[in-house]
């Protein structure tokens, strides 16, 4: 498993990382239950395969993801794993952020978090998605107080590196202007979600900021399971790829890009058959073929899924295949436009 330097930091991450959002299970039908025995086996096998990055957040399943990951890491050498976690924007007031970090440390059962990230930019619209408290929404934490708290935690040794998630260029410029050394920016990136290529990815490269690409197989849509859009479960049709009427769970109110999405999906199936590479492997290998990507995050519910995803990290794609994949998905990229908040109307982009 290839390891890559994360920007200008001393972190070296596996090109395939584990997204832990499903760990701990949820109380609804989005992820469903997740057996801790499966998580334990998955994490241990991942480390055996050379995967060292595990990504979670305090908001994932109300903290159960962090707790589940912490349980799975018990008994493993701490220096063999890199833990990334995220603080929700509503908790970025100075004292609240420190309390959130300490709560995450307790759930994870560790003395330090390797990469601690602000989950979304700090403004009312992004905060409204994580709290109904109008006092917080109307008086959001400032970047200055969040930065002060993060630097304090770093000085105390409770976090090793500071990161952000879903930050567009203007938001990055703001926090960098405060003198904060940002090690990584976690961004939505896949064959079907390429908007970061236009501005924020090149900017991160010039600033020495690593990029962690999440939703690499777009919650299974790029896994080769679905040949038509109608087969895709409703909870996975919430993005701007789909017409807003496609599911009652959608909130973007846009017409979507279903014709371009279906065309790309059909062509990808044909290409996977032609080159005899599973579609999920094409998607994962395409993501880290971009030198700006430090680690491509994928989810797995059991060891079999993990081992299949890990095989994708064993061999790079040829330049010819990368070019063909870019060509296939270019019309979809153009239709979706430059916004990389795929859940909101483009005028309500939370990343900016």
In CATH, what number is assigned to the domain containing residue 7?
A: 3.20.20.100
Q: What was the pLDDT predicted at 27?
A: 62
Neighbours of 31 (CB within 10 A): 19
Among 19-28, 126-135, 221-230, the least confident range: 19-28
Residue 247, exposed/middle/buried by CB under 10 A (0-12, 13-18, 19+)?
middle
- Clarify whether 60 is annotated catalytic: yes
Out of 30, 53, 60, 112, which one is annotated catalytic?
A: 60
Instruction: Give 77's contacts (C-beta < 8 A, 6+ positions apart).
Output: none
Q: Taking residues 36-43, report their average pLDDT.
A: 94
34 in any annotated domain: yes
Looking at residue 29, its pLDDT comes to: 56
* Cβ pair 184, 9 in contact under 8 A: yes
Average pLDDT on 206-218 reads 97
Residue 180 covered by a domain: yes
User: How many structural domains does the chain have?
Assistant: 1
Q: Is the dihedral of CA 62, 246, 255, 260 positive or negative?
A: positive
Residue-number span of the structural domain to which 187 is assigned: 3-225+279-315
Global pTM reads: 0.95
In a domain, 51, yes or no: yes
The stretch 310-323 carries a mean pLDDT of 91
Eight-class DSSP state of 352: -
Residue 195 lies in a domain: yes
18: pLDDT strictly greater than 60: yes
What DSSP designation does 141 have?
Answer: P
- Assign 32 a pLDDT band (cuts: 50, 70, 90): confident
Is 243 among the domain residues? no
Instruction: Give the whole-angstrom CA distance, residue 279 versus residue 227.
Output: 11
In a domain, 242, yes or no: no
- Please give the mean pLDDT across all residues of the chain: 95
Average pLDDT estimate for 91-113: 98
How large is the average pLDDT for residues 249-264? 97
234 in any annotated domain: no
Instruction: Classify residue 345: in a domain, yes or no.
Output: no
Instruction: Specify the pLDDT at position 28.
Output: 59
Question: C-alpha angle 253/255/257, rounded to 5°?
Answer: 125
């Amino acid at each position: 498993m290839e390891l890559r330097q994360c920007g200008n930091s001393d972190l070296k991450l596996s090109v395939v990382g584990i997204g832990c959002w499903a760990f701990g299970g949820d109380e609804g039908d989005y992820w469903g239950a997740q057996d801790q025995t499966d998580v334990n086996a998955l994490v241990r096998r991942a480390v055996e395969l050379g995967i060292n990055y595990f990504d979670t957040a305090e908001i994932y399943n109300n903290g159960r993801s962090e707790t589940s990951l912490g349980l799975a890491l018990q008994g493993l050498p701490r220096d063999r794993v890199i833990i990334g976690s995220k603080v929700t924007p509503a908790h970025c007031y100075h004292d609240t952020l420190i309390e959130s970090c300490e709560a995450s440390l307790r759930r994870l059962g560790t003395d330090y978090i390797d990469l601690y990230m602000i989950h979304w930019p700090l403004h009312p619209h992004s905060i409204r998605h994580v709290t109904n408290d109008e006092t917080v929404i109307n008086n959001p934490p400032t970047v200055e107080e969040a930065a002060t708290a993060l630097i304090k935690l770093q000085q105390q040794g409770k976090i090793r590196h500071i990161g952000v998630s879903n930050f567009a260029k203007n938001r990055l410029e703001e926090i960098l202007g405060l003198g904060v050394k940002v090690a990584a920016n976690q961004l939505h990136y896949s064959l079907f979600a390429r908007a970061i290529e236009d501005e924020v990815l090149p900017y991160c490269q010039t600033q020495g900021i690593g990029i962690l690409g999440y939703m690499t197989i777009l919650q299974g849509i790029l896994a080769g399971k679905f040949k038509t859009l109608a087969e895709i479960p409703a909870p996975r049709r919430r993005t701007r790829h789909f017409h807003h009427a496609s599911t009652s769970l959608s909130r973007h109110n846009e017409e979507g890009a279903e014709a371009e999405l279906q065309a790309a999906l059909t062509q990808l199936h044909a290409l996977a058959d032609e080159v005899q590479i599973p579609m999920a492997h094409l998607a994962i290998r395409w993501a880290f073929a971009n030198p700006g990507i430090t680690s491509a995050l994928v989810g797995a519910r059991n060891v079999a899924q993990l081992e299949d995803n890990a095989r994708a990290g064993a061999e790079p794609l040829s330049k010819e295949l990368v070019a063909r994949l870019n060509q296939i998905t270019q019309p979809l990229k153009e239709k979706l436009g430059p916004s990389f908040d795929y859940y909101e109307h483009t005028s309500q982009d939370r990343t900016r």
